[in-house]
Amino acid sequence: MNCADFQAGLQASLDGTLSTDAGEWDRHLASCQGCRELSVAAGRLRNGLRRLEPPTPPLGLANQIVSHALAARRTRLRRRVLAVTALAAGLLVAATLYVLLPQSNVPSVPGNDNVVQVPPVSQPIASLRDSVAEAGSALAELTQRAADDTFGQTRSLVSGTVKAASFDENRVLQDTLDPPARSLREAGQTVTMGLEPVTQSARRAFDLFLRDLPPLSANKTGL
Amino acid sequence: MSCRRSRWFLRAFVAALSLGMIAARASALSPRDELLRFVPEDVGFCLVVQDLRGHFAALQQSPFVQRFRQTPMGAALQSDPAFAKLGEVEKILQQTLGVDPTRLRDDLLGDAIVFAYRPGPAGKMNVEDQELVLVRARDAKLLVEVIEKINQAQKQAGELKNVQEREYAGVRYYQRVEAQKSTFYFVRGPVVAFSSQEAMLRQAIGLEQKSAPEEPPVARRLRQLGVERRLVSLWVNPRPFDGELERKVKAAGAGEAAVLGHMLTWWKALDGIALSLALERDGELSLAVRARTEQLPPAAQRFLAEAAMSSELWSRFPEDALVAGALRIDGAALVATVAEFLPPAARAAAQEALKRGLEAALSGKDFTRDLLPAFGPDIGFCVTAPKADEKAWMPRAVLAMRVQSDAEGHTVEPVLLSALNSLAFLAVVGYNHSHPDVLAFRSEMQGKIEVKYFANDKLFPVGVQPAFAAKEGYLLLASSPEVIRRFGTAASPTRAADGENPLLRVSANAWREFLKQRREPLIALTAERDGASKTEASSRLDRLFAALELIDRIDLVLRPSPGQVVITLRVQTVAPLR
């Protein structure tokens, strides 16, 4: 028996399908230090696994299911907040960006940049709302494209590089760490739920702020 | 008759004197503080935007914007069809309000804007909540004109039925009667206040009349958090939420109540939170948290005290690392702090699972009792680019954790190395059992240090041989034995500003160099992984490179002071923002 045969046998013994000659096994162990260490490690693993309790439904499973459902709802809300944020950002930034990257075709009085030829009020305020909303969407598109070019590409590059340099063959550690990790996730969900009055108020404050901005109030419901 | 005239003069004189005193008092305050006089101290959120005019003027003339206009990204954004839509806003603003965006930004919104929100009482938080919007304009006349034009335009559009004048405490204010609701506003010189709740507006009027000449209460809170000069700051006042959070704890079941009760302890120790944005030489996004730490559990106090110090690892990580992060953690205090958030049954179950699962690999040692106190306090990671002339193109990575002696003075390094050995053996067996190629597990001596590593040319890219060792008091996991060999005091270590502890650093400079030098293998990797053509992969890399051309580096730093901590994300651009 060589080391490769031994390792295959050891794996089979862990899988519960071992059919190797015990004498041959012992002779190899007696002559090979590396495989002896391997055998001891496997013995420890068996002992550890035997002492693990069978899986039981986690505490607060029902709450967890409800939390997942709420999380999906929160995701939808988050998307809506993002859309609204884009519009709000549009209001604040559109004018600025337009100034930073000048391509204005607005007629101005020569010699005085601050005075413009103001046509009479002829268009209803709905046009202002529509246009600001449209500008907000345009800004959101621009921001998304810029973000895709930076964060998206970076994430893709880093995840690809990390994946290329790693391998996943050891689930023992993961299985050991899973119960405490699950407890922590549940505690985290409970804390998130506990802080909902604050997060809901933040969303409500944001909605009220947008409602108070006359050009946006009519379009809010359409988001 | 003469007596009546005397009284009239006297009243006029007193009124003029009062107005003069108000004007003098207001002029002594900054535009932001002028607005904050109207804001009650018991609001839950208060958003402040100040000096838009100055910031935009500086930004417009900044070297960064000049440079940005010339970059491919700047050119691409300007030629994007979406960008053209922004110009429409300018035309509509002029047609409707008679003001161009520059005047709107500088003369109307350029001084200060405040938005305040007060949640309703417990049980009615989102039902009886109130909000207040305040704007301080440089041009008071323009402010009145714009308000009138908005009212006029909304009447034309049929959205506003009428505007009714009202009065409270001698101050005129207006009710805008809309189709489904009413809103209220008043104008006081260059200040306009707006709310959808009449009571909130009246309270603002009352507060302004009673306000002392000194700093308004909300302004003081912002100053205490160190955000009084920021372009944008959002203050979160925890106190208005106490009642609702307590109600939630009382209504929770036994298991949840324990967790929420502990959360409430932390919440009540909070004095204030501020999120702020500053545009100075660099762009900074900061989170400031002020708390009475003595009210926190002892483990949490120990954890926070340790985290407030700078890690020794920064002297070992080079300034030009692609990305590096390090902090100080009291392992035992962290676990105790986190465990306090778990219900007692879940805490016991988690500890037992850890004990049973790891005891075998740790030669009978108890993970939480024997090993955890020996972990830390320094923990960090560093990724650096290989030198240009090296064949290996993959970045070098190392994860380092300081390991101290256990409670009895015994070093735990041998136990940890033995556990890693066991796990490595099992990984090798598992891999070799299910793959035709062989994963080798080898060791090499670097002086007196034994380095164990995996080797498989098919599985890992050139230069990658995952390794681990104990060196200079640290347990190291690295991408190759060579990285462990180089681990030591860096020739040009990472610097930090006085009073600041670095937490994370990304060098865009180093990334640009890396992308330039390793362009071909990165294109091949991207194309292979995403199933894209080499042209597409090359184009993606170019876009990333173009974005990186605007930034020098990104830092996440922590600035601790008694009772307060500020975490700042700082983006250092290639040219100053102002």
Distance CA B362, CA B370 (A): 10
Distance CA B78, CA B69 (A): 9
pLDDT at B103 over 90: no
Task: Tell me how close the Cα of B503 comes to any Cα of chain A, in angstroms.
Answer: 20
Those residues whose C-beta lies under 8 Å from the C-beta of residue B28, and which sit 6 or more positions away, are: B213
Those residues whose C-beta lies under 8 Å from the C-beta of residue B431, and which sit 6 or more positions away, are: A167, A169, B439, B459
B433 touches chain A (CB under 8 A): yes
Structure tokens at B77: 């954004």
Which chain B residues are closer than 8 Å to A138 by Cβ? 82-86
| Residue of higher predicted confidence among A75 and A116 | A75
Which chain B residues are closer than 8 Å to A51 by Cβ? 356, 359-360
Label residue B457 left, alpha or beta by phi (over 0 means left) and psi (-120 to 50 means alpha): alpha
Cβ(B490)–Cβ(B398) under 8 Å? no
Q: Which of residues 173-232 of B touch A (CB under 8 A)?
A: 183, 194-196
A62 touches chain B (CB under 8 A): no
Contact B129 A44 (CB under 8 A): no
Rg over alpha carbons for chain B, rounded to the nearest Å, is 31
Q: Where are the alpha helices (DSSP H) in B157-240?
A: 198-210, 217-224
What is the average pLDDT across B288-298?
92
Cβ(B557)–Cβ(B570) under 8 Å? yes
* pLDDT at residue A140, as a whole number: 65
User: B184 by DSSP, 3-state: which?
Assistant: strand
CB atoms within 10 A of CB B477: 17
* pLDDT at residue A122, as a whole number: 43
User: What is the residue whose two structure tokens read 């030489």?
Assistant: B281
In one letter, which amino acid is B380?
G
The H helix count followed by the E strand count for chain B is 20, 20
Q: Which of residues 161-220 of A touch B (CB under 8 A)?
A: 161, 163-167, 169-170, 172-173, 175-180, 183-184, 186-187, 190-191, 193-198, 200-202, 204-205, 208-209, 211-212, 214, 218
| Residue of higher predicted confidence among A21 and B244 | B244
* pLDDT at residue B188, as a whole number: 92
Cβ(B232)–Cβ(B47) under 8 Å? yes
Model confidence pLDDT, tens digit, residues B155-188: 888 888 899 999 999 999 999 998 788 999 999 9
Task: Tell me how close the Cα of A208 comes to any Cα of chain B, in angstroms.
Answer: 7
Contact A47 B360 (CB under 8 A): yes
Those residues whose C-beta lies under 8 Å from the C-beta of residue A163, and which sit 6 or more positions away, are: B529
B103, closest residue in chain A (CA to CA): A114
Q: Which of A118-127, A149-158, B275-284, B456-465 has the lowest mean pLDDT?
A: A118-127
What is the average pLDDT across B361-376?
73
B542 touches chain A (CB under 8 A): no
What's the 3-state SS for B462-522?
CCCCCEEEEECCEEEEECCHHHHHHCCCCCCECCCCCCCEEEEEEEHHHHHHHHHHCHHHH
Q: How big is the CA angle at A76 (ends A75 and A80), to the nearest 5 degrees?
A: 115
Which member of A10, A169, A204 has the closest CB to residue B431?
A169
On the question of a cis peptide bond just before residue B377, with omega within 30 degrees of 0, the verdict is: yes
Cβ(B252)–Cβ(B263) under 8 Å? no
Residue B126's Cβ-count burial label (10 Å; 0-12, 13-18, 19+) is middle
Model confidence pLDDT, tens digit, residues B235-250: 999 999 999 999 988 8
pLDDT exceeding 90 applies to what percent of chain B?
Answer: 40
User: What is the residue whose two structure tokens read 């009673």?
Assistant: B210
pLDDT at B568 over 90: yes
Which member of B94, B426, B543 has the closest CB to residue A170?
B426
Which chain B residues are closer than 8 Å to A4 by Cβ? 432, 438
Interface test with B, best of A201, A210, A213 (most B CBs within 10 A): A201
CB atoms within 10 A of CB A25: 19
Structure tokens at B219: 């302004």
pLDDT at A69 over 90: no
Cβ(B502)–Cβ(B494) under 8 Å? yes
Task: Tell me how close the Cα of B390 comes to any Cα of chain A, in angstroms.
Answer: 17
Which member of B99, B157, B341 has the closest CB to residue A187?
B341
Which chain B residues are closer than 8 Å to A39 by Cβ? none
Task: Tell me how close the Cα of A158 comes to any Cα of chain B, in angstroms.
Answer: 10
Distance CA B416, CA B469 (A): 10
Structure tokens at B54: 């100055």
B42 touches chain A (CB under 8 A): no
Task: Tell me how close the Cα of B37 comes to any Cα of chain A, in angstroms.
Answer: 20
Distance CA B365, CA B406 (A): 11
Contact A150 B431 (CB under 8 A): no
Contact A95 B105 (CB under 8 A): yes
Instruction: List, in sequence order, every residue forming a beta bridge with B461; answer none if it has no partner.
Output: none
Distance CA B301, CA B318 (A): 31
Provide the 8-state DSSP code for B51: -
Which chain B residues are closer than 8 Å to A155 by Cβ? none
CB atoms within 10 A of CB B498: 5
Top-confidence range, A139-153, B106-120, B246-260, B537-551: B106-120
